[in-house]
Amino acid sequence: MHGTQKLRISETLIVGMLLTIAGRFLDAYTYLCRGKVFANGQTGNLVLLGMRLAEQDYRNALYYPLPIFSFICGIFLAEQIHIRIGDDRFVKWRHIILIMEITLLLLFIPVPHGTMDHLVNTGISFVCALQTQAFHSLKGLSYISVMCTGNLRSGIQEFCSYRSSLLFTWIFPPCFSLSFCCLSFSFYCF
């Protein structure tokens, strides 16, 4: 393997780890600190919505459609940016997405817990959708930095294919998921 090729793999690995850390942290944060709503796990929000409706808890059921809709809008906007900007310019479309993510997350930092949690969760779900759409592959392999289910599926598929890319799709997502279970537990305890 050439030096530049090793450097690219290292860069990709670092980017993948940072995106995974951010994605897991945001889900833990919104669920534990902002009213038990998932920023990334829209399937979880649909399940919670269904549970609240089944319990006839209509007031709390209204809490879940906003992040889901915001996630849809984030995917749409990220794809529009991708179509219009692309990768041919000095500033790539993914750079714009990262700048948007950072800016929006910085806006939510000063908002106290319990105050406007609906707005914060909706905004964070939007940010997570931007990240999901902009970084859905690493080195040409399907990779979802904000969720585990797709990565587990991809990991098993890669394992069955005996591809050398197991590192990205099989080893790191479960390791980071485990690390964020620990992070979530520590958030909850302290």
| Average pLDDT taken over every residue of the chain | 76
Handedness of CA 156, 160, 161, 165 (dihedral sign): positive
- Per-residue pLDDT, 81: 93
**Overall average pLDDT of the 145-162 stretch:** 63
Q: Write out the two tokens for 103.
A: 């800016």
Report the pLDDT value the prediction gives residue 181, as an integer from 0 to 100.
Answer: 55
pLDDT of residue 184: 52
pLDDT at 167: 53
pLDDT-derived band at 190 (thresholds 50, 70, 90) equals very low
Task: Tell me the mean pLDDT in the region 30-37.
Answer: 86
For residues 150-154, average pLDDT: 62
- pLDDT digits 0-9 by tens, 34-62: 888 888 778 888 888 889 999 999 988 88
Q: Is the pLDDT of residue 171 over 70?
A: no
Indicate the pTM of the whole model. Answer: 0.74
Q: Which amino acid is at 38?
A: F
CB atoms within 10 A of CB 42: 21
The H-or-E segment that residue 137 falls in is strand 137-138
- What are the structure tokens assigned to 161, written together? 């294919």
Confidence band of 189 (pLDDT split at 50, 70, 90): very low
Interatomic CA distance for residues 96 and 108, integer angstroms: 19
